[in-house]
Amino acid sequence: MGHPKEILILRHAEKPTEASNENLSIKGYERAAALAYYMPATFGTIDHIFAAGVGHKSHSKRPVETITPLAERLGKKVHDSYLKYEYPEMITHIFGDDKYTGKTIAIAWQHTDIEDIATKFGALEVPTSKWPGDCFDLVWKLTLNDDNSYTLNQIPQLLMYGDSDDVITDPLTKTFCEELKSIDPRELCGTQPILPAGNFPNIAMTCIFQVPEASVPEGLTEQYIFVGAGYLLNEQNIIDNKIAAILNVAYDENDAKDLQIPFSDPTVDKRPALPFKLADNEKYYLNQLDKVGLVDGNENDINTLVAAVLEAEQLLNFPTPTQQKADGVVNFYAQGNLVIHCHDGGSRSVTVTALYLYYKYYVTTDIPFQDIYKSIICLRWNHSVNNHPTQGICENAYEVLNTFEALFPEPILKK
């Protein structure tokens, strides 16, 4: 078994403000250069160097760029064959090779995985608090114990102007978002199951909410909001649930598969016919698809969450085909129910739905957002692989609540 005597884990250096830029910022390159001298001066001989690699769904070049000056100065190879989500395989590789026994290893990675990496190495007393998004100046030093566990020490780098001597600590009490990681569903939801709205199969998607009669758009007598898992969508359950609009809130690769969802066949989906005959240049679609890409961590720009809420409002309030024709369009869309989905239908879609319902119907009442959130989580608990929202997307939702209330226009924000 290869048990290194010391494991030095650091987050990549500073990143640019542009979300599309996967490289370091100017300050990040300066920190990387400084780390080439700081690491050996502070921790002694470094024998092996690892960094999260670049590849499928692992686009950031920052971990490799952060550690490369150190590797070049020491004449070491950067082991970057493991992508950011393949750190369990990296740890298995290290533990399974005797060449790492008694050695010192440096690892540069994305901050969202550092706590889990330390835990999987066997570190004791790893903070449960998430690594702060603005923290680039810490090294986590894991020192091997006699029982093959590791003692964690947090070392502030204090390399650059503005560096802090703060370390990551656990709060005395957990927030609701932190509690979600380990909460018992009976404690969260009670012993009496919450019943879905309406009278639908609730197999591939769950009927979360019936739109109040006063808010149902002209042309419909009733309307419902569903939450579902993207991989379960098929033509039949779209028809069974009278889905007219599909809002995908999962972040996916930018390829054609991202938009390949089943649409209703007009010969099968027997919705009311148009009240007018289509001209040669006109088309009628029974479904429309919208997309707002969100990740499950807390790295989302909260404007993206706001956009998802506003997209839900637009899809639910689509005008009648007659009004669409009066507006001069030639591609007409049916009215009906909305399904908000992500991969498993238990995290991002639940969060967007909770934010929408809160701002649309409850923001001026005494009902807190957390109660709305809980009810949707409980409705979806047994229907999604991940059971509940991640801590990251939950934290983003509360960031929206604390920042954007004044920016929601009518009719989302009711004053």
CATH number of the CATH domain containing 324: 3.90.190.10
Contact between 116 and 100 under an 8 Å Cβ cutoff? The reply is no
Whether residues 233 and 374 share a domain: the answer is: yes
- Write a three-state SS string for 5-45: CEEEEEECCCCCCCCCCCCCCHHHHHHHHHHHHHHHHHHCC
Task: Decide the pairing of beta strands 104-109 and 6-11.
Answer: parallel
Model pLDDT, residue 407: 55
Q: Is residue 284 part of a domain?
A: yes
Instruction: Report which of residues 343 and 261 the model is more confident about.
Output: 343
Distance, CA of 245 to CA of 291 (rounded, Å): 11
pLDDT of 135 above 50:
yes
> What value does the mean pLDDT take over residues 158-162?
93
Q: For 208-225, write each residue's pLDDT tens digit.
A: 999 999 999 999 999 999
Determine, yes or no, domain membership for 306: yes
* Residue 264 one-letter amino acid: S
pLDDT (0 to 100) of residue 415: 36
> Do 150 and 233 lie in a common domain?
no
Examine the domain organization and report whether 336 and 289 are in the same domain: yes
Q: What is the pLDDT of residue 408?
A: 56
Are 340 and 349 in contact by the 8 Å Cβ rule? The answer is yes
pLDDT of residue 304: 92
> End of a domain among 170, 199, 226?
170
As a whole number of angstroms, the distance between CA 229 and CA 206 comes to 9
Query: Considering the domain boundaries, does residue 224 fall inside one?
Result: yes
Residues 189 and 102 in one domain: no
Choosing from 117, 137, 170, the residue where a domain stops is 170
Alpha-carbon torsion, ordered 212, 218, 222, 226, to 10 deg: -80
| 318 three-class SS | coil
The answer to whether residue 86 sits within a structural domain is yes
Longest dimension (CA), the chain: 81
With beta carbons less than 8 A apart as the criterion, state whether 223 and 211 touch: yes
- Residues 336, 252, single domain; the answer is yes
- What's the rounded mean pLDDT across residues 249-276? 63
- At 2-38, the pLDDT tens digits run 799 999 999 999 999 888 899 999 999 999 999 999 9
Q: Are residues 209 and 306 in the same domain?
A: yes
What average pLDDT score do residues 361-374 get? Answer: 91
State whether 143 and 193 are in the same domain: no
The candidate with the shortest Cα–Cα distance to 159, out of 50, 52, 70, 48, is 70
What range defines the domain where residue 51 resides?
A: 6-170
β-bridge partners, 11 = 109
What is the structure's pLDDT at 97? 93
Q: What is the pLDDT of residue 172?
A: 64
Q: Tokens 């979300």 correspond to what residue?
A: 19
Task: Identify whether 103 is part of a domain.
Answer: yes
CATH number, position 74: 3.40.50.1240
pLDDT of residue 282 exceeding 70, the answer is yes
Q: Among 33-37, 179-183, 187-191, which range has the highest average pLDDT?
A: 33-37
Do 81 and 158 lie in one domain? The reply is yes
pLDDT score of 270: 66
Whether 38 is covered by a domain: the verdict is yes
pLDDT in the model for residue 221: 93
Which pLDDT value is given to residue 252? 66
Which residues are within 8 A (CB) of 325 and not within 5 positions of it... i.e. 6 or more apart?
A: 276, 332
**Does a structural domain hold residue 76?**
yes
Together in a domain, 94 and 240: no
Residue 256 has pLDDT above 50, yes or no: no
Number of domains in the chain: 2
Does residue 180 form part of some domain?
no
Cα–Cα distance for residue pair 290/285, rounded to 1 Å: 14
Kindly report the pTM of this predicted structure: 0.58
Choose between 203 and 114: higher pLDDT. Answer: 114
